[in-house]
Structure 1
């Protein structure tokens, strides 16, 4: 039976226009780090790197372990020295990021190394493969909501989250801004994009 983590993990669920406090368990990810906006060549290269390895791991899991799953949606952590670049002005040159794809906890380091080796041996070897790593992210308590529409319209939503909802709950921001992309923004019209916006808090 194929597992779809978007349906089984509460941390992948959010409602538009509603800020919710959730506890997110530690999860394992394929990760590539970089800087600049999503239009940067390095960001595109990161996406082209994580997907081949993610699908290789999926088929290794299905064929070798008998555990099949839907490859989860792409995610990214975003941060900057000055948080206001995300809520006012959108100065993308100052953004830093980690592109991520969640991998099940039964995927081992040995499986990851074998998958990278398989992908590296292919004719169309991803250019960013040497930058790929397997890491664990433990966010704990977070505030999240679902955003529908262009990325450029996230600013007012994040402003309300950061400056109104979080302080009103007696919380403070602690980690990096986290986005989960339920839509393929390379193929989806901006007004139809579905993005989960998450902020770790304490």
Structure 2
């Protein structure tokens, strides 16, 4: 099973803002703090890709074989410390040293937390024991496809914010970025395609 092809709806977005419904998804994940793009950030990103490769090998040549390569990241702030941070100014309102993140790669629902823990105990990888099973139901979300460098998101996110506001929604969960294009530190970012997705709820 190719996760990317099997769940095409999840990995597809238009360049114009839109509303989508996202159900429960299972992931391998690792937590982090601080601004994205640090050496530690990229070390964790590389390690989770290797971890999932090991997981894929566990099920290779069985009826449960799968492939999952797309790296995703959830970002959030502790609201009790910094207050409410909206979609449009997510990266510009608060010191990014206070940012929390969870790097994830989607896995089939049949893989349970116990399997992740078993591999974490034996894998000879950096951060191996920090990997964990994570499930999340985003529900109603606003999203769009951002093309180009990550820095351009500072202009794209206000577009998503405007769409949410005009449709009577407010941000209600973690900011979610799906990196459809493989990327490593130091590479050109001109070709990147990134889904920007934010859970929302109706304003009352």
For normalisation by structure 2, the TM-score amounts to 0.85
Match of 2:99 in 1: 95
Match of 2:69 in 1: 72
Tell me the SS of whatever aligns to 2:171: coil
Match of 2:190 in 1: 191
| Deviation for aligned residue 1:117 | 3.0
Match of 1:142 in 2: 141
Which of 106, 116, 121 is matched with 1:117 structurally? Answer: 121
| Deviation for aligned residue 1:27 | 0.8
| Deviation for aligned residue 1:44 | 1.9
| Deviation for aligned residue 1:110 | 3.1
Matches of 1:31 and 1:111, distance apart in 2 = 13
For normalisation by structure 1, the TM-score amounts to 0.86
My pick for the range that moved more, 141-150 or 39-48, is: 39-48
Moved over 6 A (4+): none
Match of 2:54 in 1: 56
Tell me the SS of whatever aligns to 2:30: strand
Number of positions where the alignment pairs a residue of Structure 1 with one of Structure 2: 192
Q: Is the 8 A contact 1:15 1:145 kept in 2?
A: yes
Tell me the SS of whatever aligns to 2:190: helix
Q: Is the 8 A contact 1:31 1:134 kept in 2?
A: yes
Aligned-residue RMSD, C-alpha: 2.0
Bigger fraction of residues in strand: 2
Q: 5+ residue gaps in structure 1?
A: none
Matches of 2:189 and 2:94, distance apart in 1 = 17
Match of 2:173 in 1: 175
Tell me the SS of whatever aligns to 2:133: strand
Q: Is the 8 A contact 1:4 1:72 kept in 2?
A: no
Q: Is the 8 A contact 1:183 1:195 kept in 2?
A: yes
What are the superposed Cα offsets for residues 27-53 of structure 1, whole Å, 9 maximum, x if unpaired? 111111111222223312321331222
Match of 2:112 in 1: 108
| Deviation for aligned residue 1:56 | 1.2
Distance 1:111 1:151, change over 3 A: same
Tell me the SS of whatever aligns to 2:155: helix
Q: 5+ residue gaps in structure 2?
A: none
Tell me the SS of whatever aligns to 1:196: strand
Matches of 1:170 and 1:97, distance apart in 2 = 27
Tell me the SS of whatever aligns to 1:160: helix
Match of 1:28 in 2: 26
| Deviation for aligned residue 1:145 | 0.8
1:11 aligns with 2:10: yes
Bigger fraction of residues in helix: 1
